[in-house]
A and B are shown apart, each in its own frame.
Chain A
Amino acid sequence: NAGVTQTPKFQVLKTGQSMTLQCAQDMNHEYMSWYRQDPGMGLRLIHYSVGAGITDQGEVPNGYNVSRSTTEDFPLRLLSAAPSQTSVYFCASSPQGGQGIETQYFGPGTRLLVL
């Protein structure tokens, strides 16, 4: 299994450009999430999904869209990039919860710089 994969690894955008960060997992996990990590801020949840066709907002959803058409893929779209979106983005997946001990597996991250 490849686990959780993310592309691209690095990206430089100009203000106002749009782009999609790709995330895929091959573990048949129900839950997938997108986080951003900024210095001193820890991981902040952007959007998450509890299954194909179901998404919900996290702590910092503004400026981002997601969709979940398949169990495997959970792309994150930046609609109009802003310098404040410069960050490291992590995608994560987890098996269905319910027993209190399920946890998340993270992709290697995408480093985004918005100029």
Chain B
Amino acid sequence: RKEVEQDPGPFNVPEGATVAFNCTYSNSASQSFFWYRQDCRKEPKLLMSVYSSGNEDGRFTAQLNRASQYISLLIRDSKLSDSATYLCAVNMGSGSWGKFQFGAGTQVVVTP
């Protein structure tokens, strides 16, 4: 079983709709959580960090559920430009700050 798992999708979303997807992690000692966006054949870029209390950045909302060991990303009012693969990343924290584990990514396709 992979330590960080994501639904690969694709999630086909009409423009203007809301889409949400999760990322589960297996190690309860995980400390920090992130969502990255990756466009085709490009490097991943940080979308947002995920805080315990949940956080919002414009149309994007990230949540952390430690009890069930997953993080979520919700995109409201989807734009065509939101089409990308979204990777979640987990950092083990103290003693392992250098190590990040990534999910395989969730593909989102926003259609007109």
Residues of A within 8 A of B (CB): 31, 33, 35, 40-45, 48-50, 56, 58-59, 88, 90, 92, 94, 96-98, 100-109
A104–B100 touching, CB < 8 Å: yes
B105–A42 touching, CB < 8 Å: yes
A109's nearest neighbour on chain B, judged by CB, is B43
Interchain nearest-CB distance for B97 vs A (Å) = 3
Report, as a range, how many residues of chain B touch the other chain.
20 to 34
Which of B87, B99, B104 interacts with A40 by CB under 8 Å?
B104
Q: Known contacts A100-B32, A106-B43: does B102 contact A42 (CB below 8 Å)?
A: yes
Chain B positions within 8 Å of A104 at CB level: 46, 89, 100
Q: Known contacts A90-B44, A106-B44, A108-B43: does B99 contact A45 (CB below 8 Å)?
A: yes
Interchain nearest-CB distance for A4 vs B (Å) = 8
